[in-house]
Amino acid sequence: MNFKLQTIHFNAAEKLVAYIDKKMSKLEKHDNILNVELTLKVVKPETANNKEANLHVSLPGRKIHAEKVADTFEEAIDLCVDVVRRELTQNSDSKTKSKTPVDFSM
């Protein structure tokens, strides 16, 4: 899994980068992920909910995108990761559910 972090108009502190690494490691459980791109930016500095996180996850033949705005970057990242993990588990569940056992007894 390739990971790319982009921050717009600010430099991420080491504490935030460590937090991001911890959250992205949870996505590594899914083995079919090709690329993960996380973009962080401050939308409107004068408002309360002004931290935006965009998470793009590339899978073979498919992309998942989550965009959330929150009061802190940690909250926005948590929300994005939750959305992506839900999509990934639904995707893997639908693949396993479609493989129903066939009864050949007569």
Amino acid at 105: S
Report the 10 Å Cβ neighbour count for 23.
18
What pLDDT shows up at residue 46?
A: 80
Element (H, E) at 26: helix 14-27
pLDDT tens readout for residues 10-44: 899 999 999 999 999 988 888 889 999 999 999 88
The encoded tokens of residue 44 equal: 């409107």
- On whether residue 52 sits in a domain, the answer given is yes
Per the domain annotation, does 40 fall within a domain?
yes
Q: Kindly state whether residue 50 falls inside one of the protein's structural domains.
A: yes
In a domain, 103, yes or no: no
| Within-domain flag for 47 | yes
> Tell me: the pLDDT tens digits for 46-104?
888 899 999 999 999 899 999 999 999 999 999 999 999 999 888 665 555 555 566 66
- Does any domain span residue 85? yes
Number of separate domains in the chain:
1
CATH assignment of the domain containing 40: 3.30.160.100
- Residue numbers of the domain that contains 31: 2-96
Instruction: Of 20, 19, 21, 28, give the one whose Cα is nearest residue 1.
Output: 28
pLDDT score for 56:
96
At 10, the amino acid letter reads F
By the 10 Å C-beta count (0-12 exposed, 13-18 middle, 19+ buried), 97 is classed as: exposed
